[in-house]
Structure 1
Amino acid sequence: MLEPEFKAVLKPTIFREYINGSLDDYPAGMINDNMKEFHFILGFATDTYVNGKGTGVFTRTWNFKSLGPEKVLKLIVEHRNVKVVISIGGHGAEDVFNPKNRDIWIANAKSSIKDLILDYKIDVGSGGISTTYGIDINYENIDSSVDDFAYCIGNVIQQLKEDEDLSYSMSAVSIAPTEALQSYYLTLYLKNKDKIDWINYKFYKQSFDSVIEFVKLFKKLVYEYGAPFKLLAGVSTDTITSSSYTMTTEFFVKGCTILLNTASLAGVFVWDANSSAPTYLLEEQIQKLFTKK
């Protein structure tokens, strides 16, 4: 059965880039100031495990000295379209979503993630400046039920959004589904659609026989999530991450061009800046495609 097509007319408004590892600074050279929004996503804040089970106590793995709040403040002053987001979860085999106790995990996760966000608040006079803009839910390994994942992550998102100390810092929440974990992320989204702003779908984690197949999957996902304005297409410059799949960067650009020509694409994300360095050719190409500048 063919899915009905959404008739939303979209212009690409957002470009997102993951930073994974130990860059010495934000790669500002890739930023196209003509983009409406440009996000750097810091990866990852990872869980702490006891006897193989997640405790909900998250710690950052990126270089805080090189990518800390002062660097963010300088970046957002120089580039008004830039925002910085913290990614929660991780891609390693050890970074598994598997809480021992749901409610204890939620309480710990809310508290520890809040602390990570507040580390990016700069005190100015009697107030402060929040330099992060949101969080990204990005687990590639889940060892729990679909309902537990949706319940735990949904509650953490809600509690962080309701925390008055974090009003600006929780302005944008994204999730990062893969084909293998689609049931988990789709359930999470459908139960929390008013709290989730972007869907970073990892197209680079599967294979396609043709560009048209890529476009068809994009339209199918728009239908399943019911979110044409939120679905972002993902591509990887990490040859290790994408080596098992057939989607090349050239393939991806062709697919995005088709979606742009039918006003169907809200934006794109790239994994990741570390693999793209030092040239960032793909990032520049996609942003020029979006902005015509």
Structure 2
Amino acid sequence: MEFSKPFLILLTIQPFLIAPLTGSNLFREYIGAEFNNIKFSDVPINSNVEFHFILSFAIDYTTSSPSPTNGKFNVFWDTDNLTPSQVSSIKNQNNNVKVALSLGGDSVGNGNAYFNPSSIDSWVSNAVDSLTNIIKQYNLDGIDIDYEHFKSDPQTFAQCIGKLITTLKNNGVISFASIAPFDDDQVQSNYMALWKQYGHVIDYVNFQFYAYDKGTSVSQFIKYFDTQSSNYEGGKILPSFATDGSGGLSPENGFFNACNQLKSQGKLHGIFVWDADDSMSKGFRYEKRSQALLASS
């Protein structure tokens, strides 16, 4: 009986000893939206990181004269170069590579790509069926949610996307899911409603920090990161930059300094980049540097 009291104390404190906040060596990059003949094999892959390609995009629109299809997804990435056989090839050659697809995006045809369900149940049913077919055809591992325009309320978005992710995971179709919000009132209201109800099934938050103003400083970036970590409490928030000349904290002006600060604080869960297509002409120098940072101890 004398040893039962310290034994109970050990059980009480043990979870805090074995579950510290740690970083990650996850590198993620969107690919295929620009149709510039990029291939998976063009992108440098550091064997010491976990590497996710994210195909951009699958959209629930018709491919000709695009119009909404209520959850019936079609492929809108560069299918000439990013094929099912190429997915299998890059994964077979690199056991640290997984491939996902992203849903939605900013535009389709000459207009915005809207989230526009007819009803929650019908959208979820159609989305599960159509995405399961695409994911199995392409041998994919996960999905990313990147809707940026909405013709529904936040609760509808939360229920549709939350039930979709939950069903695909429960069916064994995907092993991970991420969301890609940015700092816009309508966008945040939708994604934060989703997070509040279904954050437990979302593995990563690909927050679009490059949607902030050009010329963002390191201190501003850290402030933005902490704000979004509070908004998506408990989530793995990934810092990001863009290689297409858009905004945010650029790799040239301190992004890696900011990442090193986050890393020293145990807050760096990975890095993601928009996008491989625009990086090709630049020799992927920032992808190489990002992965080297993540791979270092």
For 2:225 and 2:277, the matched residues in 1 are separated by 26
Q: Quick check: 1:179–1:205 contact (8 Å CA) kept in 2?
A: yes
What corresponds to 1:13 in structure 2?
A: 25
Structure 2: distance between partners of 1:170 and 1:140: 22
**Structure 2: how far apart are the matches of 1:227 and 1:187?**
15
Task: State the partner residue of 2:114.
Answer: 96
CA separation of 1:29 and 1:192: change in aligned 2, threshold 3 A: same
Q: Which residue, out of 174, 177, 184, partners 1:173? A: 177
1:247 is displaced (CA, Å) by: 2.7
Query: Root-mean-square deviation (CA), in Å?
Result: 2.2
Give yes or no for contact 1:28–1:75 (8 Å, CA) kept in 2: no
User: Whole-Å Cα distance in 1 between the matches of residues 41 and 224 of structure 2?
Assistant: 31
Paired with 2:136 and 2:268, the residues of 1 have a C-alpha distance of 33
Which of 96, 103, 114 pairs up with 2:132? 114
Q: Give me the identity figure in percent.
A: 36
Which segments of 5 or more consecutive residues in structure 2 lack a partner in the other structure? 1-18
2:249 maps to amino acid: M
Match of 1:284 in 2: 288
Where does residue 222 of structure 2 map in the other structure? 215
Q: Is the 8 A contact 1:54 1:97 kept in 2?
A: no
* Range with bigger deviation, 217-226 or 277-286: 217-226
What residue number does 2:202 align with? 196
Question: 5+ unaligned residues in a row in structure 1: which ranges?
Answer: 1-6, 121-130
Higher mean alpha-carbon deviation, 279-288 vs 205-214, is at 205-214
- Whether contact under 8 Å (2:211, 2:248) holds in the other structure is no
Secondary structure at the aligned position of 2:130 is classed as: helix
Q: Does the CA-based 8 Å contact 1:215-1:255 persist in structure 2?
A: yes
Q: TM-score, normalised by structure 1?
A: 0.84
Matched with 2:56 is 43
2:237 corresponds to: 231
SS in 1 for 2:201: coil
More strand by share: 1
Q: CA 1:65 to 1:52, structure 2 compared with 1: closer, same or farther past 3 Å? A: closer
Paired positions, count: 267
Return the alpha-carbon distance in structure 2 between the equivalents of residues 51 and 221 of structure 1. 33
SS at match of 1:80: coil
Q: Which has the larger radius of gyration?
A: 2
What TM-score, normalized by structure 2, do the two folds share? 0.83
Per-residue deviation, 1:170? 0.6
Do residues 62 (structure 1) and 69 (structure 2) align? no
Deviations, residues 243-285 of structure 1 (Å, cap 9, x unaligned): xx35322332221121122221110100000000040011111
